[in-house]
Structure 1
Amino acid sequence: MTATGLLVFLLVGAIAGWLAGLIVRGFGFGLIGNIVVGIIGAFLAGWLLPMLGLSFTMVSPLVTSIVYALIGAIILLAIIGVVKRA
């Protein structure tokens, strides 16, 4: 992976984690935490959505990556919320 690819990867994770933190109330992990949530969310969505037959393409590959990571991050934060309440 090139330095540019790594930077884009981290940027997508940060944006997705930040947006997911805004959507799922009560969660905000700071910059590093949002990046981690976004990256884990991207892997989760990349694995789960195709298994469910839900794959899509948007305006550009970058926007598609952000939306995939956002969906995965929201799922991840919902799971964390359920585990914290239990």
Structure 2
Amino acid sequence: MTVTGIVSAVVVGLVVGSLGRLLIPGRQRIPVWLTAATGLVAALLGTIVARLAGIDADGFGPLQLVVQVGLAGLGVALVAGTAGGSRSER
């Protein structure tokens, strides 16, 4: 993978993680880097799932993005529930 490919993957991961975080209601007490990491994993898994399902198999498309953001939302919810710190409202 080239440097451009790695930078592109990081940018897509940041965007997907941010959009996934917006899907979850309430405040998530997780750091930005954890949101980005969740977005990177969701982007990779979303691409794999979309390609296996035959969605946008030729490249990046809107349906693939929907799958990625949905997985990022699930990932952020899981991470916030397990690593989010105290759940009491202050």
TM-score range, shorter chain: 0.5 to 0.7
TM-score normalized by the length of structure 2: 0.62
* CA distance 1:67–1:20, shift in 2 (3 Å): same
Q: Please, what is the CA RMSD of the aligned residues?
A: 3.1
Q: How far did residue 29 of structure 1 move?
A: 2.8
Identity of aligned residues (%): 20
Q: How does 1:1-86 map to 2 (within 5 A)?
A: 1-25=1-25, 26-27=27-28, 29-30=31-32, 32-47=33-48, 49=49, 54-57=53-56, 61=60, 63=62, 66-81=65-80, 83=82
Which 5+ residue runs of structure 2 have no aligned equivalent?
none
Which 5+ residue runs of structure 1 have no aligned equivalent?
none
- Structure index of larger Rg: 2
Identify, as 1 or 2, the structure richer in helix: 1
